[in-house]
Structure 1
Amino acid sequence: MIVRAVVRIDAPPRRVKGRAAVAVVLTALLTGACTAERPHRALPVSEQGRSDLIHAAEQVLVGRCLRARGAAGPPPRQEVLFGTGPAELSIRLATGYTVRAHTDGCLAEAQRYLYGDQARWFRAEVTVNNLRPEARAELREDAAYRAALARRDACADHDTACVRASGLEQLRTKLEPARLARVRAAHRDDLTTYDRLRDRAVQRAAGLLAGRPPEKGTPSP
């Protein structure tokens, strides 16, 4: 069984036009069966490989937690997996959205094992995952971009020719790289924290899946 955990996102009080959207999704893979230990292997280099390793470890940790709490199911008890009550963690993004998460569920427990500090990881991951939407929101400061956006919004549904003629996509392609570079520079500390905690999670995940404790010298948060 696969269970997807979606972090709650509160929209800003005013409707924002355009396509700058916040895509903040945290996914936890859960199976009811026990996972066999894997032999030690070199750490993955690609970002996809690192993500796969971390998610595999999350799967093991969440499964252990659910079984320990008598909530493995099937189906697993959602309140034990994701947490209950008011969300303890929240962050308001520059785009106007607020993202919230719990700290009492099995998914949160797995994140604390892997990243060391769930709150710091939550803030860093949500911020880094939304740098592009933040940059696109800032594009509205450009008069030419606002005009192109207005032309695009005036197009009828599914009128692709009208959308192309608005020039919005071409202008976005031209302006976005510089805006994104400025946004990344403004969030340099968040990017550093994200990389550091993710490196820690890769080490912890590799140790867990190899059936041995993390090696000495593993970076700590």
Structure 2
Amino acid sequence: ERRSFPYGVDDVEWARANGYGGRAAREDERARAADPNQRWFHRLPARERAAARTALMGASPVGLSARTPTGMTLTASTQGCLAQAQRALYGDLAAWFRVKVVTMNLRPAQEERVRRDPRYTEAVGQWAACMRAAGRPYDSPDASRSAAAALADDLPAERADAAETALAVTEATCATGTPLSRVSRALDHTYGDEVRALHRDEIDLRRRLQNDALPRAERVVSPPDRSTDATKRSGGSHA
């Protein structure tokens, strides 16, 4: 049920079954609210919540800095349990933070290039004309999605889901009935290759750090050898 459509929904059958994915998003939100760690955290008094956050993340996001492929600079602390755990797993905390920031933001960089391409802009214009003809005067898939999100604020859940689904089906029908689906998929593939090529070193280093961390992680999470313990307690093997 959970799919991403960064350039507009272009699967009519999926849209008919899921709308924009609003029902799945509500299920995810309920699951997060039911998480015992979150329930414990939110029950803490304000001062203890702040202390718990500091213990996990450090007192302030200072010490680590990396630039995303889209030009943003992200920072984090070298202190706290999260930094301590990542340092133990990956060894070089600064290198791990840098490659994680870069590789986790390859998709936004890829989508940014697609949206700037004149071929995509032209395809969106044809999609918008199709939507207007269908009585949905939205200039872009983002505007259509925003309109769908607003339905949840104005209507009961069941009616909002039905209205969202109808809008998503129209969006998908226009995406597949105009060049938008074909053009956006082709551009996404092209710019995906381009972005990954530009950041091949970071991708390779992340993979290497993760592979090197696996034996350490396995030692942490592996259960104790109960058979060895039992043998020691009994004084020998029964084999």
Moved over 4 A (4+): 73-76
Offset from partner CA, 1:130-150 (integer Å, 9 cap, x none): 212211111134212023345
Give the corresponding residue for 1:181. Answer: 193
**1:179–1:74 distance in 2 versus 1, CA, 3 Å:** closer
Shift of 1:180: 0.7
Which has the larger helix fraction? 2
**Rg comparison, structure with higher value:** 2
Moved more, 93-102 or 133-142: 93-102
Shift of 1:199: 0.7
TM-score (norm 1): 0.55
TM-score (norm 2): 0.52
Structure 1 gap segments, 5+ residues each: 1-17, 21-28, 32-72, 213-221
Give the corresponding residue for 1:110. Answer: 85
**1:125–1:140 distance in 2 versus 1, CA, 3 Å:** same
Structure 2 gap segments, 5+ residues each: 8-34, 38-47, 129-138, 149-166, 225-239
Say yes or no: does 1:78 pair with 2:53.
yes
Shift of 1:209: 3.1
Q: Give me the whole-angstrom Cα distance separating, in 1, the residues matched to 2:73 and 2:50.
A: 30
**% identity of equivalent residues:** 33
The RMSD of aligned alpha carbons is 3.2
Shift of 1:191: 0.9
Picking from 185, 193, 210, the partner of 1:198 is: 210
Give the corresponding residue for 1:209. Answer: 221
Give the corresponding residue for 2:140. Answer: 153
Give the corresponding residue for 2:174. Answer: 165
Aligned runs of 1:55-74 on 2, under 5 Å?
A: none
Instruction: Check whether the contact 2:67–2:102 (CA below 8 A) recurs between aligned residues.
Output: no
Say yes or no: does 1:128 pair with 2:115.
no
Offset from partner CA, 1:33-56 (integer Å, 9 cap, x none): xxxxxxxxxxxxxxxxxxxxxxxx
Aligned length in residues: 146
Q: Give me the whole-angstrom Cα distance separating, in 1, the residues matched to 2:65 and 2:124.
A: 31
